[in-house]
Amino acid sequence: MFRGQERDASQMGGPGSARSEVRYDATVIPEFDKRPAFIHVLLLNKTIRLFVVLGVGSVIIPVFAYLFFFSKEIGHGSKRDIIGTCGHPTLYHVPCGRNNLSETECHQLGCCYTTLATCYHSLPSEHQLIIGDDWIPGTPAILSPLRSGTPYVEAALPEVRFDVIIPEDGSGRMSFLLSKANNISSARNQIPTKVMETRDLAVHVYSPTFFIEVKRKIDQEVIFSTARGPLIVTENFIEWTLHLGADILFGLGSAYLEPGRKHLLLNNLNTSATPIVMGYNAKLKLFNGVIFNTPGLTEVEILGSRLIIIRAQFDKNFEVQFMAGPTPAMLHQQSKAILQNQYTPPYWTYGVHVCDQSAKRNLTIVRHDLEVLLNETIMFDSHCLHNDQFWISDSMTLDKEFDFLRQLLRGAEKKFLPSLVLAISYGGNPTFIDARDHGILFRNPSNLLAYQGRLRNRTVVYVDWRTSQTSNLSTWFDSQWQKIANLAADGYTLEEVNPRDDRNNSLPGPGKLIYQPERLNDTLEELLPWNTLLSDSSELVLSRHNLLGVAMLDLIQKKIDPTIPLISGAAGMHSRVATLPSNVSASWIALRSEVDRIIGLSVAGISFTGTPICGNAPVGPANVSEELCIRWYQFGSLLPLFRVSADRTPNRFSRYGRRLMHAALRRRYELLEMLNTLILEDAAIIRPMFYHYEESANFTTELWEQFMFGEAVLVAPVLLPQMTQIAIYFPDTFYELWSGQQMPANDVLQYAVVESDLPMFLRPGFIIPLREVVEEEIVLEGGSVVPMSVERSRLKPLLLIGAFTCNARRWKCSTTGHVLLLAGFQLHFGVDLDERIVVNVRANVSTPELAQQAACSEQASLNATIVRVQLYGHPNTTQPLEYAVGYDYCQEPAKQVEFANLHRKGPVDAYGNFLAK
């Protein structure tokens, strides 16, 4: 973040400073020697300077040439057909093979060696593929390796197929596909284009050494290249080096990618694999990015030169999809066009979801806690009862206790959202026996029987959700689904989608894997043993691990109505599901990491996600910090998914903490129409500052501790304990959302905060809609009092808050906004400020019957009235202005209301009328 600079008033010469007395040093200055030094004589003589330059050049240039091309210390060693150079800058050194190679071993691999005992690829690398000169664009190319040996265990694949796919929609996307030559379906049934260009870009494939470059036509700048590192393809492994011409990178589930780090894309308890990297070119002021497929173990290394090195297990193909940008908004659109993952569940899914995650399952305790939530009117919308209650291998018998709890939720207008544990208890239960007989379980490599692990204090076996034996899997799952359907749930949370083994202590030694990332062992401690086998082949689970959650979701979504919400801890980029990470610790560091993660996912196009409020790690502190939870509630209130453990609901804290947490929830309910609009429009929700302020890239490209909520609101969450002020950068004039206080433009402000604050600021020119939610409880028809729900909050009228943007002379001002209540039902509103203040509201409805049913019938599910508008930024007053609007869609689809501009200033005629501008 930024640090404010303070100056002493006396140093500034301000009005409060005392004028100091000026004193002069009267000491006699000694006479200095006027004769020039000998070195100055040499440097001032032109002839001598010329000979010095020639002499230095005659020595330096040959030495540099020797080191660059011939030095055995940094060269390949004595070989007949040396290609490339070893003298390129250190920032472009791509590691060759494993660490601690000797000089002889390094040279045998065809790589460069230094006295620092590092082995790296030459430039260009000897490990490349060759493309024939007779290749015709638009047809598949067959590539062959320059070297049959590789720096890894396996030999290079003799033949690799290459395809270029450029969509004809002019979107700025293109795909580069490497696949095994015998894989007929590798090109995904798409016909490659013979035209290797788009309106703005040109693709150049070099031969005979295979390199790809993408250039902008307007200035011939290279914005994508594979020429700066190796391309190694074996039967089971690929290493490819990409360059986006970028100075700053973000992606991989992060708002900023720090150079010099390696990222392991392997689903574990905490996150899902997000193989998306985007970059910003400071010279061109343009953005671009890539998406690549990662079915299994994948490592991405970011060098100091912003080279992107991808090392991944290779199955049938490896695809890199390039997105040209050039703006963050266009990059987001291109990403969404590829991902196709828009998720729009029912409105109640935005509510507060509670789940008991205690170590021991006890429905008596669950019942007591649930009754406390209802009696004390703690705001929530759904409950899971207990996240260890419903195992897919259990009978899920609907006993009286369970039925009472379900009816208790229904009577309070709350939803039942159970957690399904998708591991199978080992033993004599029918679920295990049936799965074993169908051959769909992961196998132990020593005896090829179902692998037995330990999970939640049970011995378990694991389903291979991506098995090629799809008919066996479907038959088995059909027999299990009826138990789940009998729960009559409103939605489901999917637990243990990633196979976890609490007693795993089997880690691979050196050489047991083709490539072993540095952080692999730390991750494997949370997963199955590294050598566990798939159900249908001798391949390791690691090779398909990232596909398990995707395949499981596909199977379940075929069984349920599309309107039934699903929450999962592991999903693919293309999955239409609400995602929530697991194993997030209750710490300030974890909260900061969650902010970073949410920004990275949102800008890449993975929108419907959330953060586990106050953490959800199974092992954590008994007493969670109240201040930390308050800040987590505040940040989480802006996200689509809000889920909290039953031991961290507001009633578990002090009266003061409870009041602040409920205030955060009320603010959430107020802002939900804005959030719902972003979801329905498939727009980025949480946006990094550079998304809208590229001109301030020096400040915004690495700034992730503040962000934009949509396009209209700047948010700066408090992410450290006991803060009394935080530094906020304002690239434009902003107004504090709730009071209208004006913030200075293009400045860093030390903003004072208290524990109740979530600093939010409105951008000029925008109006946002809010529901007027002031109460925390509602009275049902029978007289019972229950906590406010998100569905009930939608029946409250709308309030508009806007901030003016004005012309250069500040005579005319305006502000606009809209809200998308339903698909095909939108309200537009605007305010013009001139001689009068004119408020306009207009409905844009493509499905009138649906709008009438939703807003105007006796069973209305939403309120389409606007009671008032609150305005900031009047050029002649700092006070907020408030006007009654009285708009009701059911009475009139459009309305215009005019008010006197009491604060207008300007020239008037002889009769007191304002003159035209």
* pLDDT tens digits for range 385-409: 999 999 999 988 878 899 999 999 9
The answer, yes or no, to whether residue 426 has pLDDT greater than 60, is yes
Q: Got the DSSP string for 139-172?
A: S-EEEEES-S--SSSSPBPS-EEEEEE--TT-SS
pTM of the model: 0.88
Distance CA 814, CA 571 (A): 43
The answer, yes or no, to whether residue 568 has pLDDT greater than 70, is yes
The answer, yes or no, to whether residue 43 has pLDDT greater than 70, is no
Question: Could you tell me which residue, 688 or 505, shows the higher pLDDT?
Answer: 688
pLDDT bracket for residue 153 (50, 70, 90): confident
Q: Which helix (H) or strand (E) holds 661?
A: helix 655-680
The answer, yes or no, to whether residue 72 has pLDDT greater than 50, is no
pLDDT tens digits for range 409-424: 999 999 999 999 999 9
The answer, yes or no, to whether residue 38 has pLDDT greater than 90, is no
Confidence (pLDDT) at 268: 63
Distance CA 836, CA 904 (A): 8
pLDDT bracket for residue 670 (50, 70, 90): very high
Same domain for 103 and 141: no
pLDDT bracket for residue 506 (50, 70, 90): confident
Same domain for 869 and 733: yes
Structure tokens at 424: 């199978």
The answer, yes or no, to whether residue 81 has pLDDT greater than 50, is no
Q: Domains in the chain: how many in total? A: 5
Same domain for 443 and 532: yes
User: Within a domain: residue 14?
Assistant: no
Same domain for 432 and 507: yes
Domain containing residue 533 = 418-561
The answer, yes or no, to whether residue 908 has pLDDT greater than 70, is no
Same domain for 742 and 855: yes
The answer, yes or no, to whether residue 168 has pLDDT greater than 80, is no
Domain boundary among 561, 577, 608: 561
Distance CA 546, CA 561 (A): 25
Confidence (pLDDT) at 75: 37
The answer, yes or no, to whether residue 212 has pLDDT greater than 70, is yes
Question: Could you tell me which residue, 510 or 871, shows the higher pLDDT?
Answer: 871
Question: Could you tell me which residue, 507 or 476, shows the higher pLDDT?
Answer: 476
The whole-number average pLDDT for the span 223-241 is 95
In sequence order, what are the residues at sequence separation of 6 or more whose Cβ sits closer than 8 angstroms to the Cβ of residue 533? 442, 443, 444, 445, 448, 451, 539, 540, 541
pLDDT tens digits for range 682-735: 999 999 998 998 777 767 777 889 999 999 999 999 999 999 999 999 999 999
The whole-number average pLDDT for the span 162-166 is 91
Same domain for 117 and 170: no
pLDDT tens digits for range 352-380: 999 999 988 889 999 999 999 999 999 99
User: Within a domain: residue 94?
Assistant: yes
User: Within a domain: residue 775?
Assistant: yes
- Helix pair 400-411, 363-375: axis angle to 10 deg: 20
The whole-number average pLDDT for the span 896-912 is 72
pLDDT bracket for residue 78 (50, 70, 90): very low
Residue 443 burial by CB count (10 A; 0-12/13-18/19+): exposed, middle or buried?
buried
Q: How far is CA 905 from the centre of its chain?
A: 47
Same domain for 144 and 290: yes
The whole-number average pLDDT for the span 11-26 is 38
Structure tokens at 224: 């994508």
User: Within a domain: residue 69?
Assistant: no
Same domain for 723 and 619: no
Confidence (pLDDT) at 16: 42
User: Within a domain: residue 518?
Assistant: yes
Same domain for 584 and 651: yes
Confidence (pLDDT) at 523: 85
Same domain for 790 and 860: yes
Same domain for 656 and 611: yes
Q: What is the identity of the amino acid at 528?
A: L
Range with the poorest average pLDDT among 187-201, 220-234, 551-565: 187-201
Smallest CA-to-CA distance from 379 within 773, 669, 662, 672 is with 662
Same domain for 574 and 556: no
CATH code of residue 809: 2.60.40.1180
The answer, yes or no, to whether residue 640 has pLDDT greater than 60, is yes
Other Cβ atoms less than 10 A from the Cβ of 385: the count is 26
The whole-number average pLDDT for the span 263-277 is 77
User: Within a domain: residue 405?
Assistant: no
User: Within a domain: residue 104?
Assistant: yes
CATH code of residue 571: 3.20.20.80
Confidence (pLDDT) at 465: 95
User: Within a domain: residue 687?
Assistant: no
* 255 DSSP 8-state letter: E
pLDDT bracket for residue 811 (50, 70, 90): confident
